[in-house]
C-alpha cells in the first residue's frame, strides 16, 4: 500500500498554522506548544535511548519483551554521498508472540528503534490493547469485489456509520523499516523477513499470508510492499519510516475520494480507521493510498508506478465530463494554495483566499486539509476582532478536526476553546493596523461579489497580490450566508 504518512504532524502543516498564529500576534515560543500535538512534542523533547536492550554482538539473545531471539543482519547500503563507501546498518527481526492477547507483533528495525519500542511506547503490554474494535463489532465484512480483489464493506444489516466513527482499532502485526526493504542482498532480506513473519502466532501468520500480493518476488516481501502503510517512528533521532501491516486495514481498497481515513497512534501502536463521512449499509469502505490531489492521468500513472496497480476507483472511472470538472477543481485548489500569503503583513488576504479554497476542497470531496484552513481563518478573524466569524470558523474546524483526529484530540479541543471564548483567546484583537486596507480586488466583501456597498475604501489598483490572477475564482463563491461587510452583528446562525 505504501500510502503517504497520515500523521498528526503532517495533518497540520506547521508552517501554515505558524504563519496564521504569527499574524495573530502569538509569540514564537508559544507556537511550539500550540502547533505540535502532545505526543509529537514529547517525542521531540524526550530523546530515545541509543542503546538496545538486546545484545548487539550476535544473533541469539532473548531479552524482554521479545519472545524470540532477534535475528540480525549487517546490511551495507549504497552510499549516495560518497561512491565506494557503503553505509552499514544493523537490522533485526524482533517478535513478541504474546503481544495483544496472542495476536503477536514483529518488527524489522535497527536495535536503536527496538530499544525505543521497549521504553518509549506504552503498548508492549502482553495483556492486549484496550479499546480494540474490529470485525466482531459487526460493522463490516470482507467481500470479493468485481475488479479489485477483496474489499471491506459496511454490513448491510447495520445502521449507517457516521463520520468520525471508528471502524477498526487494531495493532499492526508487522512493522518493517522502509530502508530494510531496499536491502541489496536478497538472502539477507529473506532471512530476516521470513523470521519476522514466521515467528508470529499461527493464526496471525495465516491471516497475513492470505493477504493480497501485487508485486511478485518473495511472498513476505510482496506482502509487506502491497499491504504496508507508511508511518513515522518519532521516538529515535532520525525518525525512520516504517511500513505497518495491519491485516484488517489491509483489506481496504484505495479510492481517490475515500470515505474513511486512518490514524496511527505511535504511543499505543493502534491503527484506527475512521469514517470520513457517513457510510451507508452495504457501501464499500475505502481509504486513499495517496496521490489523490493529482489530475486523473497523473494520479493513475503515479499509482501504477508506486503501487503497481491500475486504479479502478469510481473517480478514475468517471465520465470524461466529471473527470474534466474534477481536474479543473484540482488545478484551482493548487493555484489557490500557491498564492496563500506567507508574509504576516498580507494576513487580510487569507480572508479572501481561504473560503474559496475550502469551498473548492469541499466540492472536490477532499476533506483532510479543510480543518487546518478553517482554523487559520478563525485565528485571523479573531485577530481582527470579528467575534462571530472567528466563532463560526472555529466551530467548523472543531467539528472537522473531530472527524479527522477525534473529538478528544487536542486540535479539536483548542478550536473548541476559541469557539467558546473568542474574546478571551490569545489571538483576540492582536492585529495592528487596518485589516481592510490594501486587500485588493476580489476580497470577499468586494462589491463585485456581493453587490453590496461598503464603508471601507479599497485600493484596487495597488497592492495586488500576485495570486490575484486567480481572483475570478471567487465568482460563484458560496459565501455561506455571510454579509461580507466586517460588521459583527451581520453574521448569524452558522453552526
Ligand X SMILES: C[S@@+](CC[C@H](N)C(=O)[O-])C[C@H]1O[C@@H](n2cnc3c(N)ncnc32)[C@H](O)[C@@H]1O
129/112 Cα distance (integer angstroms)? 24
Q: Residues 225 to 244: which contact ligand X by CB under 6 A?
A: 226-227
Residue with smaller CB distance to ligand X, 149 or 463: 149
CB 263 → ligand X: shortest distance, Å? 17
Q: How far apart are CA 124 and CA 127, in angstroms?
A: 9
Of residues 311, 330, 394, 415, which one binds ligand X by CB under 6 A?
311
Span from 38-46, 82-90, 145-153, 473-481 in contact with ligand X (CB under 6 A): 145-153
Which CB atom, from 117 or from 252, has the smaller least distance to ligand X? Answer: 252
CA distance 285 to 279: 8
Nearest-CB residue to ligand X?
149
By CB atoms closer than 10 A (0-12, 13-18, 19+), residue 222 is middle
Query: Which of residues 211 and 335 has its CB atom nearest to ligand X in the complex?
Result: 211
Contacts 24+ apart (CB under 8 A), 227-231: 227/1, 228/1, 228/2, 228/174, 228/176, 229/1, 229/2, 229/3, 229/262, 229/264, 229/271, 230/2, 230/3, 230/4, 230/5, 230/178, 231/5, 231/7, 231/264, 231/266
The nearest distance, CB 324 to ligand X, in angstroms, is 20
Which one of residues 309, 379, 381, 428 is an interface residue with ligand X (CB under 6 A)?
Answer: 309
Grid cell locating 218: 518473495
Nearer to ligand X, 40 or 224 (CB): 224
Selected binder of ligand X within 124, 137, 211, 301 (CB under 6 A): 211
Helices 219-227 and 186-198: angle between axes, nearest 10 degrees:
70
Smallest gap from residue 243 Cβ to ligand X (A): 12
* Part of the chain binding ligand X (CB under 6 A), chosen from 41-49, 122-130, 207-215, 231-239: 207-215
Count of CB atoms situated within 10 Å of the CB of 126: 13
User: Is there binding between residue 158 and ligand X (CB under 6 A)?
Assistant: no
Q: Does 318 bind ligand X (CB under 6 A)?
A: no
User: Of residues 103, 189, 195, 254, which one binds ligand X by CB under 6 A?
Assistant: 254
Find the part of the chain contacting ligand X (CB under 6 A) among 158-166, 305-313, 338-346, 431-439: 305-313
Among 14, 22, 39, 212, binds ligand X (CB under 6 A): 212
Q: How far is residue 61's CA from residue 94's CA, in Å, rounded to a whole number? A: 11
| Rounded Cα distance, 244 and 263, in Å | 12
Regarding 259 and contact with ligand X (CB under 6 A), the answer is: no
Neighbouring residues of 464: CB distance < 8 A, sequence distance ≥ 6? 440, 441
Sites of contact with ligand X (CB under 6 A) = 1, 148-151, 211-212, 214, 226-227, 250-251, 253-255, 309, 311-313
Amino acid at each position: 500500500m505504501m500510502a503517504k504518512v497520515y500523521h498528526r504532524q503532517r495533518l497540520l502543516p506547521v508552517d501554515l498554522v505558524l504563519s496564521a498564529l504569527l499574524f495573530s500576534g502569538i509569540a514564537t515560543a508559544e507556537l511550539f506548544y500550540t502547533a505540535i500535538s502532545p505526543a509529537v512534542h514529547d517525542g521531540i523533547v524526550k530523546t530515545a535511548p541509543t542503546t538496545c536492550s538486546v545484545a548487539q554482538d550476535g544473533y541469539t539473545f532473548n531479552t524482554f519483551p521479545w519472545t524470540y531471539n532477534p535475528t540480525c543482519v549487517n546490511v551495507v547500503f549504497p552510499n549516495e554521498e560518497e561512491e565506494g563507501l557503503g553505509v552499514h546498518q544493523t537490522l533485526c527481526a524482533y517478535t513478541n508472540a504474546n503481544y495483544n492477547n496472542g495476536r503477536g507483533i514483529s518488527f524489522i528495525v535497527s536495535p536503536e528503534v527496538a530499544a525505543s519500542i521497549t521504553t518509549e511506547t506504552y503498548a508492549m503490554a502482553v495483556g492486549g490493547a484496550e479499546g480494540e474494535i474490529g470485525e466482531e463489532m459487526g460493522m463490516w465484512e470482507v467481500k470479493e469485489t468485481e475488479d479489485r480483489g477483496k474489499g471491506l464493506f459496511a454490513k448491510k444489516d447495520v445502521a449507517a456509520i457516521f463520520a468520525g466513527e471508528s471502524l477498526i482499532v487494531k495493532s499492526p502485526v508487522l512493522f518493517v523499516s522502509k530502508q530494510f526493504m531496499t536491502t541489496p542482498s536478497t538472502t539477507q532480506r529473506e532471512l530476516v523477513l521470513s523470521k519476522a513473519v514466521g515467528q508470529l502466532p499461527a493464526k496471525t501468520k495465516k491471516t497475513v499470508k492470505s493477504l493480497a500480493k501485487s508485486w511478485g518476488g518473495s511472498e513476505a516481501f510482496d506482502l509487506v510492499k502491497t499491504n504496508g502503510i507508511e508511518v513515522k517512528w518519532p521516538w529515535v533521532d532520525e525518525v525512520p519510516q516504517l511500513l505497518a501491516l495491519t491485516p484488517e486495514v489491509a483489506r481496504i481498497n484505495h479510492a481517490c475520494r475515500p470515505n474513511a481515513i486512518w490514524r496511527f497512534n505511535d504511543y499505543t501502536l493502534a491503527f484506527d480507521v475512521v469514517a470520513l463521512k457517513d457510510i451507508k449499509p452495504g457501501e464499500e469502505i475505502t481509504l486513499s493510498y495517496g496521490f489523490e490531489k493529482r489530475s486523473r492521468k497523473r494520479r493513475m500513472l503515479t499509482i501504477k508506478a508506486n503501487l503497481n496497480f491500475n486504479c479502478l476507483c469510481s473517480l478514475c472511472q468517471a465520465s470524461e465530463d466529471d473527470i474534466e470538472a474534477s481536474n479543473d477543481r484540482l488545478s484551482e485548489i493548487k493555484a489557490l494554495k500557491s498564492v496563500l500569503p506567507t508574509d504576516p503583513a498580507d494576513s487580510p488576504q487569507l480572508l479572501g483566499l481561504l473560503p474559496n479554497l475550502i469551498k473548492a476542497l469541499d466540492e472536490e470531496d477532499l476533506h483532510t486539509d479543510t480543518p487546518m484552513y478553517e482554523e487559520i481563518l478563525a485565528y485571523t478573524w479573531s485577530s481582527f476582532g470579528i467575534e462571530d466569524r472567528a466563532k463560526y470558523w472555529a466551530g467548523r474546524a472543531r467539528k472537522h478536526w473531530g472527524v479527522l483526529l477525534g473529538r478528544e484530540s487536542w486540535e479539536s479541543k483548542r478550536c473548541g476553546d476559541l469557539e467558546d471564548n473568542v474574546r478571551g483567546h490569545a489571538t483576540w484583537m492582536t492585529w495592528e493596523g487596518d485589516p481592510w486596507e490594501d486587500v485588493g480586488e476580489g476580497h470577499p466583501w468586494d462589491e463585485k461579489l456581493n453587490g453590496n456597498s461598503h464603508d471601507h475604501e479599497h485600493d484596487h489598483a495597488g497592492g495586488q497580490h500576485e495570486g490575484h490572477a486567480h481572483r475570478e475564482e471567487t465568482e460563484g463563491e458560496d459565501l455561506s450566508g455571510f454579509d461580507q461587510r466586517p460588521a459583527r452583528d451581520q453574521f448569524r446562525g452558522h453552526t
